[in-house]
Chain A
């Protein structure tokens, strides 16, 4: 087992990591991403419905 680095053992990779302390800039970026995602999901649904309604 010496061939593995200690951090590669399954028991080690199962240890939880703490949440990252996010700076104001990253927090703002992630909120921007949330808004982007909220806009993008209806576009995906719209594209699917439109494609369904288009005769193949």
Chain B
């Protein structure tokens, strides 16, 4: 097709469906038929249930192994004062960013990597994909560290926990059906709320919790470099590039349309609330370590926190905490490996390469690259964790630097796409959307750059 002929047609209008229908088309149409029936029957709760998924999964997925350790460190260092409302604020920011990604997905029916390549050219297309896939690979290593740590708490050998994690992640792809994969993952993600009963076993003072939300305090020790580091780490634990790529592609794979925006917003909002509740619960569960003045500076993973919490909140609470860490690593491994698959296959598809179909509705034969990317990255990450003496700490630190330093390009490209009226039509950002979205994008980009620099150069702000 010549460029002139492309230009003469509406950008997102479609040619008559003269090509053969694919398995992907048929399965997506089946899901949409259920949505249409539910809408016609005026059944709002069933409609919400059918259209939910990407938002809940992306938010709970971001409550991953390293994030929960970050929240636990915060609770053990500062208690529940300032950080309880602050975590809620970070999830509000995440909601604004992810809502933009959803809108871009339903307006264009294309994934994030695909759109970046096509609208901004190969440089940004390959850069965004390469940055994401490499960063995701390192993040997957940290998820398997969490899975391994959760298992070790229960006396399960490291190799067995990691192998179990690999089987679950790869096994979920065998559904070859987006809807089934999504529901199975949502069932697993529900275990993120195990941190809530763990928090209740810490017997938090409801008045102190209420005061924290009302006054954003207390903040023991005041503002210091370590406080700023935890502040930035908490922001980094809530908004990351893979979330944008995952949710936009998942929205497209699920077949959501502009008519589904109210439910999609609700899905993202519910996800943000559930993830915030689990994150704040982690803070509350580990607050007894703050009261006991425990030194958590040498804690390497979630299992260390669970072990230290056992005498303070009881063995049941500690067990729930360790299970929560295991779940956090497992669900994140599934969502993050899938976001790599979407980004890689979409970019290659945009570059007009063959065999680059990208959907969880594909057969293995048609989705060799798509499924292969998730399988290979999962096996690689799991293998690295099991190598004796592997530089796991170095990788964890590098994950933080990559995710935060390179957040700025991901967010700015999202903002530009959400303002691209040629492809967004009426769903493009309005003035208010640009003000709030723009302010959040700038704030997160600056904070991300500062945190990345602080992690790379630890002495930057003194002690």
Binding site for B on A (CB under 8 A): 1, 3-20, 26, 29-30, 33-34, 36-37, 40, 43-44, 46-48, 50-52, 54, 56
Contact = CB atoms under 8 A, between A and B. Distances in A.
Contacts of B35: 3
Interface residues of B, number: 65
Given A10-B357, A52-B394, A4 B29 contact: yes
Contacts of B416: 26, 29
Contact of B6 (A5, A16, A52): A16
A15 B412 contact: no
Contacts of B167: none
Contact of A37 (B22, B114, B127, B397): B127
A50 B352 CA distance: 39
Interface stretch (B11-19, B263-271, B284-292, B324-332): B11-19
Contact of A30 (B124, B391, B395, B402): B124
Nearest to B390: A56
B25 A1 contact: yes
Given A12-B14, A16-B1, A51-B391, A5 B109 contact: yes
B244 to A, nearest CB: 16
Contact of A7 (B7, B12, B32, B115): B12
A44 B401 contact: yes
A1 B412 contact: no
B316 to A, nearest CB: 33
Interface string B339-358: 00000000001101000010
A51 B1 contact: no
Given A11-B18, A13-B114, A40-B406, 13 more contacts: A3-B36, A4-B28, A9-B21, A11-B17, A14-B349, A17-B11, A20-B420, A29-B416, A34-B123, A36-B449, A44-B398, A44-B406, A56-B394
Contact of B405 (A26, A40, A54): A40
5 contacts: A3-B29, A12-B14, A17-B423, A26-B416, A36-B449
B223 interface: no
B220 interface: no
A48 to B, nearest CB: 4
Given A17-B118, A51-B391, A37 B409 contact: yes
Interface stretch (B57-65, B147-155, B428-436, B450-458): B450-458
Nearest to B26: A1
Nearest to B7: A18
A51 B457 CA distance: 11
Contacts of A6: 13-14, 17
B422 interface: yes
B13 A7 contact: yes
Given A4-B255, A20-B422, A13 B15 contact: no
